[in-house]
Amino acid sequence: MEFEIKKIDERLIKLARDIELIKGLLMPKIDDEGELSDWAKSELERARNAPESEYISFDEVQKRIRNKK
């Protein structure tokens, strides 16, 4: 039981680091006044216009992430 808790704790710490990294990548996309940059607006528009046939499932995302390790 203690081993499982330790493993969960390690995974949560890693997840927190990953979230901080993602925040660091995304935050510069917003200017000082909280507006999205032109690049971010363009990417958002592109994503919104993508057809559903291009969507991938959460399970597929997880598989791709696991395969990169």
CB atoms under 10 Å from CB of 43, counted, come to: 13
Does the pLDDT value for residue 33 go beyond 80?
no
pLDDT of res. 4: 87
pLDDT of res. 68: 81
Rounded mean pLDDT of 27-55? 83
48 vs 15: CA distance, rounded Å: 27
pLDDT of res. 36: 80
CA separation (Å) from 33 to 37, 40, 41, 68?
11, 15, 15, 36
Domain count within the chain = 1
pLDDT in tens, 52-66: 998 999 999 999 999
13 vs 19: CA distance, rounded Å: 10
By residue range, what is the domain housing residue 55?
2-68
